[in-house]
Chains A and B, each alone.
Chain A
Amino acid sequence: MFLINCPYCGERDQQEFKAGGEAHIERPKQPTELSDDEWAEYLFMRKNIKGVQFERWNHAHGCRKWFNMVRDTSNDEIKAIYKMGEKPPAQ
């Protein structure tokens, strides 16, 4: 169980949160303009890194806010947490 520092509520137990997959994948503004391949790239392709990964998390049993997390998947160390819309910290 991690301790996650919700940017709105503070440190809470992991069981209050829901993981939401890879971060910084923006929904295309004009999906109809995209080829099948381009759309598939957005829709299906996700990284699964052993190491530092950028993820979305939701404080589902708390404030229900989404935020971003930088996590090392090899040891679950949380390196940074920042709000939606904010730039990822420099690595």
Chain B
Amino acid sequence: MIKNLRVKSSEYIDETNRISFKFNGKTYHGFKGDTLASALLANNVHLVGRSFKYHRPRGIMTSGSEEPNAIVQVNPGTNRTEPNVRATEVEIYEGLEASSQNCWPSVEFDIGGINNFLSPFFPAGFYYKTFMWPASFWEKYEFFIRHSAGLGKSPTSSDPDIYDHRNIHYDVLVVGAGISGILAAKNAAKNNFKTLLVDEKNELGGSTIFENNEFNKIDNKTPSEWLKKEIEEIKNIKNLEIKTRTSVAAYHQYNYLLARENLTDHLEAKDKTNKIRQRLLKIRAKKVILATGALERPLIFNNNDRPGIMLSSAVKKYSEFYGVACGSKNVFFTNNDSAYESALSLYNKGINVEAIIDIREQSESKIVKKVKAAGIKIYWSHSIVDTAGYKRLNSVSIMKLSNDGTSVTGSKISISCDCLGVAGGWTPAVHLYTQSGSKLKFDEEKQIFLPNQNTSEQISVGSCGGDFKIDEIIKNLNHKLKDTLNIKETDLDNINVEIDQENSKRNIWLLPSDKPLGKTKPFVDYQNDATAKDIKLALREGFRSIEHVKRYTTTGMGTDQGKLGNMHALGIIADTAGVKMGELGTTTFRPPYTPLTFGTIVGRNVGKFFDIFRRTPMNDWHVENKAEFENVGQWKRAWYYPINGETMHQAVQRESKAARESAGILDASTLGKIDIQGSDASEFLNRVYTNAWSKLAIGKCRYGLMLNEDGMVYDDGVTTRLGENHYIMTTTTGGAANVLGKLEDYLQTEWPELDVYLTSVTDHYATASLCGPNSKKILKKIIPNLDLSDESFPHMSYKEAKIGNIQCRIMRISFTGEHSYEINVQASYGIDLWEKCMEAGKEFNITPYGTETMHLLRAEKGFIIVGQDTDGTMTPIDLQMDWIVSKKKYDFIGKRSLYRSDTMREDRKQLVGLLTEDPNVILEEGAQIVSELNQSPVEMLGHVTSSYFSPNLNKSIALAVVRGGKDMMGKQLFVPMENKNINVTVANPVFYDEKNERLNA
């Protein structure tokens, strides 16, 4: 029978709204307003998971996002399942299912639990020490590690939910809606600052909202009562937007913050559909007010991790906010007054408090006196030396602490209990603060890191800024607000605060036990099972940097980033190494503060929106005609057009033959096109291409090679002179954007005196490339009145014409070596142009061909493809294209580099042709080339860059770059492959129609 520990109704729990949910397959009940953690605790369930390394039973430790232990899989087995969710953050709803992680077969009986008893064999750095040798065993180790580790399971089908991104801008962003955040937001908004207040929880008010300590009063009300009134007030302020369930994940420079807004996770499945689940808010704020609060520290003592051991503040919150008693016999263990507030809160609700164990010698504050008066036993100067209870705490053993705090004496007292609230003081939540690049300073007196040097317009207020008492909080908040918002008065000026709080504290990072450290398990990082002795071992082994110790021991490397134990790790290192905390520095807190789903990160960029792609105006035709496509940059290009079940090889062989024997047609619309105008256009081309342009007649085309300033080939293409001051440049498909960028760069920064205007017109034109011996006849049919004679329209020239009413530019240029025309029309007419060509070409068996055939045809001619035959290390000389480098021009981009000693070396890799001894053997692109077979190691002379079987030559051909290849004509080389060596001969890279007779055929 499950005992119900719901002790008293709470205004935040709707007891009329009973909710059933499942945990590890068992049905439980809770109420609207419960988190999974509070509902489980109300059902007396503490054991919720197993630790990562030792598989020790673990319980709920906190009530917030810092939870290290209660990590669950939500809705397991569904496509909405999510691993590594903190039970303390899951709001329950009807039908919710959750299960424990990191245990098999069940959390109650976990085989991995054996690791706990083997723990002497799992010291710090265990993985590094054990699994590194011998290397060949790695696969076996990996199997072992993957099966025994594994935090949760990812869904196996696609995510049904919608995610969103939104950019928002505010004058003031307030992070955290506790008392400081609420007051800051209120005053900012009232002073006409457009303000956003966010909080990760579903209710405003932070911890003050359940602060009913009778010794603290604001305007004669308890802090809780007073704050509720403030909350009502801010809900109606113009200029103030409030977002709950919104967790700031990252704080970047320039006050750019990312927050996740959770919109449907708390809803039943039927209410989740067709709604945005989570939204990533990209927030720009002129000023940021961090009011992120503080996290309570645990204490580090032997076996401090058993289910039932919790933070004192969490025990209090479960009682005050959720109306849940975490145990029936409660004990507190503390080094400050906080535990007394928790104890009193329980006492006032009639929950049994057995004792308080305080490591301090004494405290005489009002609250301590009150606890004493209530008859709760207090053990001063005592420490817990051990705890008992495997799946649930059942007792603690305490002993007297020595004056220096390093040892225990006297006899051991055992106290029976089922819940232990631990209070080790407070750590300001400075995670976001440091993410922004701002710097911390260690306060030796308070033993905390505090904001010190801000890098942007930001302030840290409340306890994240180091103020823990309400009077200090309000006083300093008031002063900081006036300063940062530049305002004279606030409504904090007249608040009357009476408090009786003491900050007395005895800080001991690692509490001693009667057993030596080696025989104890004082956990520092609960999720990763790093203990104090692991940290000390790392130091003994010579690790000094805090970042190294962190990685070696895995402290702070879990999904919780060690929010609870990081300070203790630092403290233990400082104490052991004998240095001051301030000198040690901190580890880096990295975004996200709490884990984000992949959905939130990618937002709408999923499925077909994952990446941008571009289609040509003729795309539909290619699809209808069953083309296979390839990605070229962002373009989808027709690759080849298989018919009757042809393989790619068969299709390409057929297309290649057809293009040379009769007619082929290629969609060349993707080539980059840049419109160049201005009175200095010719001079500009002279400077950016290696060859001369001034004398190019209007109506003529010229091939150009563009270099980088280092002399290496960058891009190529044909440029046509349309008018006196007007050119159209074509670039490679992939290089278009970069070429435009480079040209603009030179124009704006080096040659601003040139009168030149560049416009990208790639998308404005559709281009069909008509090639083959019958191309002329086909074009004649389409445009009967155009004079296509070689005299009127020779190779490398251009004409304006009309196809019906469609204006077109026709260039007689060729990338295949065949007589061919590139016909450009306005993009919207692309499909008409294509269909007209197909119709007119029917009698010549016009064959559409794709990029693969284009590559093959140009390889037969030895034409390079920049990016395939070149790789940013090839000069025009290396490519044996000396003919295109002007000797007369005084300067052009990259010219000087062609005369550097290194670029003039004779033994550079040079472009050559390769022919295989067996004409049927096709080389692999990328294959290595050597000149010796019986030598090891052997020098790699180069590699194959392009390789095809040429149907027109009926043999295999290849282009390659070979060291000193220019002088190797006819020499035999070898291409060693896995199973065989292929004999090849160096050849002229122009394999077909060397005299270019077909261009005019």
B971: Cβ under 8 A from any A Cβ? no
Cβ contacts under 8 Å, A20 to chain B: 745
Cβ contacts under 8 Å, A3 to chain B: 254, 256, 284
- Whether B256 contacts A85 by the Cβ 8 Å rule is no
B375: Cβ under 8 A from any A Cβ? no
Cβ contacts under 8 Å, B891 to chain A: 30-32
A24-64 CB mask vs B (1 if < 8 Å, else 0) is 00111011101010011001000000000000101010001
**Which chain B residue shows the least CB distance to A20?**
B745
- Whether B901 contacts A43 by the Cβ 8 Å rule is no
Cβ contacts under 8 Å, A30 to chain B: 891
* Chain A nearest Cβ from B736, distance in angstroms: 14
**Which chain B residue shows the least CB distance to A64?**
B744
**Which chain A residue shows the least CB distance to B747?**
A66
Instruction: Give bound CA distance, A25 to B743, whole Å.
Output: 17
Cβ contacts under 8 Å, B750 to chain A: 26-27
A1: Cβ under 8 A from any B Cβ? yes
Interface range on chain B (Cβ under 8 Å from partner): 20 to 34
Select one of A27, A40, A76 contacting B253, CB under 8 A: A76
* Chain B nearest Cβ from A40, distance in angstroms: 7
B880-900 CB mask vs A (1 if < 8 Å, else 0) is 000000000011000111011
* Chain A nearest Cβ from B679, distance in angstroms: 21
- Whether B752 contacts A84 by the Cβ 8 Å rule is yes
Q: Which has the most chain A C-beta neighbours within 10 Å: B253, B254, B710?
A: B254
Instruction: Give bound CA distance, A27 to B895, whole Å.
Output: 13
If A56-B749, A58-B745, A84-B748 touch, whether A1 touches B252 (CB-CB below 8 Å) is yes
* Chain A nearest Cβ from B898, distance in angstroms: 11
Select one of B745, B752, B895 contacting A32, CB under 8 A: B895
* Chain B nearest Cβ from A62, distance in angstroms: 13
Instruction: Give bound CA distance, A20 to B750, whole Å.
Output: 14
Instruction: Give bound CA distance, A31 to B748, whole Å.
Output: 19
Instruction: Give bound CA distance, A31 to B254, whole Å.
Output: 42
Cβ contacts under 8 Å, B744 to chain A: 64, 66
B706-750 CB mask vs A (1 if < 8 Å, else 0) is 000110000000000000000000000000000001001100111
- Whether A43 contacts B749 by the Cβ 8 Å rule is no
Per the 8 Å Cβ criterion, residues 892-932 of B in contact with A are: 895-897, 899-901
- Whether B896 contacts A32 by the Cβ 8 Å rule is yes
Instruction: Give bound CA distance, A3 to B709, whole Å.
Output: 31
Instruction: Give bound CA distance, A3 to B256, whole Å.
Output: 9
- Whether B900 contacts A32 by the Cβ 8 Å rule is no
- Whether A60 contacts B741 by the Cβ 8 Å rule is yes
Instruction: Give bound CA distance, A66 to B741, whole Å.
Output: 10
B699: Cβ under 8 A from any A Cβ? no
Instruction: Give bound CA distance, A18 to B741, whole Å.
Output: 10
* Chain B nearest Cβ from A73, distance in angstroms: 12
Cβ contacts under 8 Å, B897 to chain A: 39, 43
- Whether B890 contacts A39 by the Cβ 8 Å rule is no
Cβ contacts under 8 Å, B901 to chain A: 36
- Whether B749 contacts A66 by the Cβ 8 Å rule is yes
Cβ contacts under 8 Å, B749 to chain A: 56, 66, 84
**Which chain B residue shows the least CB distance to A30?**
B891
B409: Cβ under 8 A from any A Cβ? no
**Which chain B residue shows the least CB distance to A56?**
B749
- Whether B900 contacts A36 by the Cβ 8 Å rule is yes
B106: Cβ under 8 A from any A Cβ? no
**Which chain B residue shows the least CB distance to A28?**
B896
If A1-B253, A36-B901, A43-B710 touch, whether A31 touches B896 (CB-CB below 8 Å) is yes
Instruction: Give bound CA distance, A88 to B899, whole Å.
Output: 34
Cβ contacts under 8 Å, B890 to chain A: 32
- Whether B253 contacts A65 by the Cβ 8 Å rule is no
Instruction: Give bound CA distance, A64 to B901, whole Å.
Output: 36
- Whether A75 contacts B437 by the Cβ 8 Å rule is yes
- Whether B896 contacts A34 by the Cβ 8 Å rule is yes
B455: Cβ under 8 A from any A Cβ? yes
- Whether A65 contacts B455 by the Cβ 8 Å rule is no
- Whether B752 contacts A43 by the Cβ 8 Å rule is no
* Chain A nearest Cβ from B748, distance in angstroms: 5
Instruction: Give bound CA distance, A41 to B467, whole Å.
Output: 56
Instruction: Give bound CA distance, A85 to B744, whole Å.
Output: 15
Cβ contacts under 8 Å, B895 to chain A: 31-32
* Chain B nearest Cβ from A90, distance in angstroms: 22
Instruction: Give bound CA distance, A2 to B749, whole Å.
Output: 23
- Whether A39 contacts B896 by the Cβ 8 Å rule is yes
Given contacts A18-B741, A32-B895, 19 further A-B pairs with CB under 8 A are: A1-B252, A1-B254, A3-B256, A20-B745, A31-B891, A32-B890, A32-B891, A32-B896, A32-B899, A36-B900, A36-B901, A39-B896, A39-B897, A58-B745, A65-B748, A76-B254, A77-B455, A84-B748, A85-B752
A sample of 9 cross-chain residue pairs with beta-carbon separation below 8 angstroms, ordered by A number, consists of A2-B254, A3-B284, A27-B709, A31-B891, A32-B891, A58-B745, A66-B748, A66-B749, A84-B752
